[in-house]
Amino acid sequence: MAEAPARFDRVTARVGDATTPSELADLWRDALEPYLRDASRLLAAGARSDNNAQVRIQARVRALASEADTNALLTGLQGGDAQLASLGPLVGLAQLRRREIDRETYARSWGHRGPHEFEVSIPRPAEDPYWTDRQLAEMEQAKADANDLLARQESARTAAWERLGRTHPRAVRSLRRRIDRAAHAARAREAGRSEVIRAFWAMRVFILRAGELTGHGDDLFLCTIQEIQRILAGDETPLARIPIRRRTYEHYRSLPVTPTLIRGTIDPERWAADPNRRGDVHDATAEHLPMSDTVTGFPGASGVVEGLVRVVSTPDQGDELRAGEILVTAVTNIGWTPLFPRAAAVVTDVGAPLSHAAIVARELGIPAVVGCGNATLRLHTGDRVRVDGEHGTVDVLEPAAR
């Protein structure tokens, strides 16, 4: 794991030095493909760690402590020398803002992570010379940065352990050991994913270089790796498929994301045109499914807060989020993390108690309700709502004027 960043540097340097298509094709076989396979093994190793450990320990802690204390006791994935990759970009920006690290260190550590990190056709944050400045400027709106929020949560965690020690002193040692094991597994899983993302950046560098050497530019992002190999060998037959692929891609990209749960068949075009469509479930056997008055989901991070909704579709719209607003979006990944310190709470359509939004919100002490299914359809920017992260509910107190 520790050698992975240096391997990325070596591989991408060789790609940049390639001067002919055939030389680049050989590099795929000899360097790129083995690197990607090894990075994937890191991710697989992390996935084989005890992913259910935190779920099991949560039930045990909940039997001994309040919901708020349970939430606090299960945090601490990031702290001291322990690094949680999901929080890396946010903590790194806070360090950069405080001049504890320089821009080069930040880019090397976290420049490969972003909202579209698995899409190799989209540039990484480190490739955008203005990305860091935008993030630092938006951080000025937050009432507290990542370090402040993590310190506050550490205090809450310490107090929770003290209360547990008074009420169940014999349980503390065993629980600490089990929670530490679960935290180690979570960090290993996140670190493996981060290195896979770095390897995907190497793949992007390879495809860009292939486009330069063959003269076909970004068109190669619409080809399979096998087709790129053929093109590098001089066979341009696969290029004939690019126009229809581009049109198809742009069309499906224009449609809303399909529901999380689909029963029966779904016509994406017809579904997208339905003003009463639901984003959580589509049942072809029922004309309309009833909805309750309360938006419900999974408890992501405990706490109750009231505030104004801000529906945000992409991290690029993050500058619209004002400090103290409720961030409502379809799903979050690491590219959304810099927005969290500005949010009073986080609500997502997709997610579960161990999803990105829930983990990061718990670590920062921000209430969260995840996996609501259709929050982005039912909540609107300007609605005043109450978010209850303990019970997984969002109640509209006052709809926005429309």
- Single-letter code of the amino acid located at 21: P
Rounded to an integer, what is the distance from CA 388 to the centroid of its chain? 22
Residue 375 has pLDDT above 70, yes or no: yes
Q: Which residues fall within 8 angstroms of residue 151, CB to CB, at 6 or more apart?
A: none
Q: Are 204 and 186 in contact (CB under 8 A)?
A: no
Please state the rounded mean pLDDT for residues 279-301: 76
Judged by phi (left if over 0) then psi (alpha if -120 to 50, else beta), residue 189 lies in alpha
- For the stretch 129-142, pLDDT in tens is 999 999 999 888 88
Rounded-to-integer distance, Cα 390 and Cα 216, Å: 53
Alpha carbons 135 and 97: distance in angstroms, whole number: 10
Token pair in block for residue 258: 């399909």
Q: Which residue pairs from 92-98 have beta carbons closer than 8 angstroms and sit at least 24 positions apart in sequence?
A: 93/132, 93/135, 93/136, 93/139, 93/146, 93/338, 94/139, 94/145, 94/146, 94/147, 95/147, 96/132, 96/136, 97/136, 97/139, 97/145, 98/147
Structure tokens at 26: 């050989």
| DSSP strand pairing (295-296 vs 393-398) | antiparallel
More confident residue, 281 or 49: 281
pLDDT value, residue 76: 86
Mean of the per-residue pLDDT values of the chain:
90
pLDDT band at 291, cuts 50/70/90?
low
pLDDT, tens digit (0-9, with 9 covering 90-100), for 294-343: 899 999 999 999 999 999 988 988 899 999 999 999 889 999 999 999 99
Q: Residue range 367-391: average pLDDT? A: 92
Q: Which of 75-79, 96-100, 132-136, 228-232 has the lowest mean pLDDT?
A: 75-79
Integer Cα distance of 11 and 6 in angstroms: 9
Q: How far apart are CA 135 and CA 319, in angstroms?
A: 9
pLDDT (0 to 100) of residue 392: 95
Distance CA 306, CA 85 (A): 30
Output phi, psi for 377, to 5 deg. Answer: -90, -35
Angle between helices 131-139 and 103-110 (to 10 degrees): 100
Per-residue pLDDT band for 78 (boundaries 50, 70, 90) equals low
Listed by start position, the domains of the chain span 258-290, 295-398
For domain 295-398, give the fold. Answer: Glucose Oxidase; domain 1 (3.50.30)
pTM of the predicted structure, to 2 decimals: 0.86
